[in-house]
């Protein structure tokens, strides 16, 4: 009985940590992803062209990537209480300020800078580190559920943003965001962060086992070709996804859909991404990362092609194909990359190493989002952006065949 209670307590702790990381990731990035819903209201009210409007989101994603290594380092060094409190506080400040701004550069600082910094501190970099200390077998599945927070956040925040904007305007919507993050900032101060950061007994990545500074450091990881292969995969994958996702709501509205219908389609794809990421992690544990990742990139290519043809389809079938394929593939490669890296670079520096790799994701997302807006302004349409995003997905699929196979089943 004591043994049973001990195992049950460890399982409950692991699930609690997973839920916390998923929830924080969902809120931090979900609020940022909902910028796709704010895109047209902001552009209309403030007179921005498309590339100017997308530059705010590009800076947000660049900031989440740029500060990801710092988030991982601070988590390794000071623990979660400080990191999460500062991150939530930055999000509250950024969104509170955004509700009263009018100049583009002010939005770039508030949402791009402050909110991007905050999202990085409560996002995947610390979440990946702590989840890897609680799960060993089935690590890819657990990490995929953490990544699933991105999809859940989009599902919740995109329709919510549309509702708040329609009811009270985009300025009040940002004010409600600020209130939520301010309340959560107080909440996280009372969590048992020392126990959360320690990990599960017997886990090879448990924090106490790493107090001797075992394993590779960030500096040593940066000297390996493997790290940079993961970095580039993160970059091109994010470029292919975010070059499409940010423009999808505006694209569907231009094709004749209402704002509410387009936001619902965007949110539904976000919901499916949770299931896609979870299924991808489970399948990678069973069949290996190369085959599963390649199939996932195939879904992305099919989704982009279907979206491009949606205006010519009166049946709604291609819209459904886009939602399903894009949703199931959005973010699905991240858990596989993180699992490979957690096993390859396990040790006391894993938080900083994973954060540094996520910098590639942030840069890729920023590049994809801005370039799609720029190409729209340049060509007056979306075809060039869709082609470039497709090429990026194909490159990502090819690069996955160059990384190690240590975690693949024999």
* CATH number of the domain to which 282 belongs: 1.20.1250.20
Residues of the domain holding 243: 11-402
Q: How confident is the model at residue 84 (pLDDT cuts 50, 70, 90)?
A: very high
Stretch among 170-184, 340-354, 364-378 having the lowest mean pLDDT: 340-354
Is 117 or 204 the better-scoring residue by pLDDT?
117
Residue 409 lies in a domain: no
* Alpha-carbon gap, residue 246 to 74, rounded angstroms: 30
Is 103 or 280 the better-scoring residue by pLDDT?
103
Tokens of 26: 């969902």
Stretch among 11-25, 195-209, 249-263, 313-327 having the lowest mean pLDDT: 195-209
Find how far residue 62's CA is from the centre of its chain. 12
In sequence order, the 6+-apart residues with CB closer than 8 A to the CB of 335 are: 140, 143, 144, 146, 147, 277, 280, 281, 284
Report the pLDDT averaged over residues 10-32: 82
Report the pLDDT averaged over residues 173-191: 92
Residue 251 lies in a domain: yes
Find how far residue 130's CA is from the centre of its chain. 17
pTM exceeding 0.85: no
* Alpha-carbon gap, residue 375 to 324, rounded angstroms: 26
Q: How confident is the model at residue 207 (pLDDT cuts 50, 70, 90)?
A: low
With a pLDDT cut of 70, the percent of the chain lying above it is: 91
Residue 40 lies in a domain: yes
364-401 pLDDT, tens digit each: 888 888 888 888 888 888 889 999 999 999 999 998 88
**Structural domains of the chain, count:** 1
Residue 318 lies in a domain: yes
- Confidence check: pLDDT of 407 > 50: no
Is 321 or 61 the better-scoring residue by pLDDT?
321
* Alpha-carbon gap, residue 331 to 336, rounded angstroms: 10
With a pLDDT cut of 90, the percent of the chain lying above it is: 23
Residue 340 lies in a domain: yes
Cβ neighbours, 10 Å, residue 138: 13
272-323 pLDDT, tens digit each: 877 777 787 778 777 777 888 899 999 999 999 999 888 887 788 999 999 9
Tell me how far CA of residue 363 lies from CA of 66, 130, 169, 285, 360, in angstroms: 8, 24, 31, 28, 5
Residue 408 lies in a domain: no
Are 132 and 342 spatial neighbours (Cβ–Cβ below 8 Å)? yes
24-33 pLDDT, tens digit each: 888 887 888 7
- Confidence check: pLDDT of 181 > 60: yes
* Alpha-carbon gap, residue 382 to 372, rounded angstroms: 8
């Amino acid at each position: 009985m004591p043994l049973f209670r001990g195992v049950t307590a460890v399982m409950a702790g692991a699930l609690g940590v997973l839920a916390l990381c998923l929830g924080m990731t969902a809120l931090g990035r979900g609020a940022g992803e909902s910028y796709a819903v704010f895109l047209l209201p902001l552009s209309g009210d403030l007179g921005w062209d498309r590339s100017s409007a997308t530059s705010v989101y590009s800076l947000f994603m660049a900031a989440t990537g740029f500060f990801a290594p710092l988030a991982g380092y601070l988590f390794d060094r000071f623990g979660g209480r400080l990191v999460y409190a500062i991150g939530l506080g930055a999000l509250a400040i950024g969104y509170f300020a955004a509700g009263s701004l009018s100049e583009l550069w002010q939005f770039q600082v508030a949402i791009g800078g402050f909110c991007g910094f905050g999202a990085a501190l409560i996002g995947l970099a610390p979440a990946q580190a702590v989840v890897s200390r609680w799960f060993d077998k089935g690590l890819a599945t657990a990490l995929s559920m953490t990544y699933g927070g991105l999809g859940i956040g989009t599902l919740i925040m995109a329709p919510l943003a549309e509702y708040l904007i329609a009811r009270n305007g985009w300025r009040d919507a940002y004010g409600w965001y600020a209130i939520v993050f301010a309340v959560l900032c107080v909440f996280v101060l009372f969590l048992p962060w020392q126990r959360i950061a320690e990990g599960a007994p017997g886990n090879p990545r448990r924090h106490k086992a790493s107090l001797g500074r075992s394993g590779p450091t960030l500096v040593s990881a940066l000297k390996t070709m493997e790290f940079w292969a993961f970095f580039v995969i993160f970059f091109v994958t994010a470029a292919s996804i975010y070059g499409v996702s940010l423009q999808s709501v505006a694209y569907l509205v231009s094709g004749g859909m209402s704002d509410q219908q387009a936001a619902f389609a965007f949110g539904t794809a976000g919901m499916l991404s949770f299931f896609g990421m979870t299924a991808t992690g489970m399948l990678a544990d069973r069949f290996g990362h190369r085959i599963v990742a390649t199939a996932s990139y195939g879904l992305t290519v099919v989704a982009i092609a279907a979206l491009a043809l949606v205006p010519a389809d009166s049946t709604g079938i291609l819209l459904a194909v886009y939602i399903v394929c894009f949703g199931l593939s959005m973010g699905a490669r991240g858990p596989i990359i993180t699992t490979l890296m957690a096993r390859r670079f396990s040790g006391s520096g894993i938080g900083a190493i994973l954060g540094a790799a996520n910098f590639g994701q942030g840069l890729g997302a920023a590049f994809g989002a801005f370039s799609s807006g720029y190409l729209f302004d340049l060509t007056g349409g979306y075809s060039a952006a869709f082609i470039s995003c497709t090429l990026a997905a194909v490159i990502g699929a090819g690069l996955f065949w160059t990384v190690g196979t240590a975690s693949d089943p024999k």
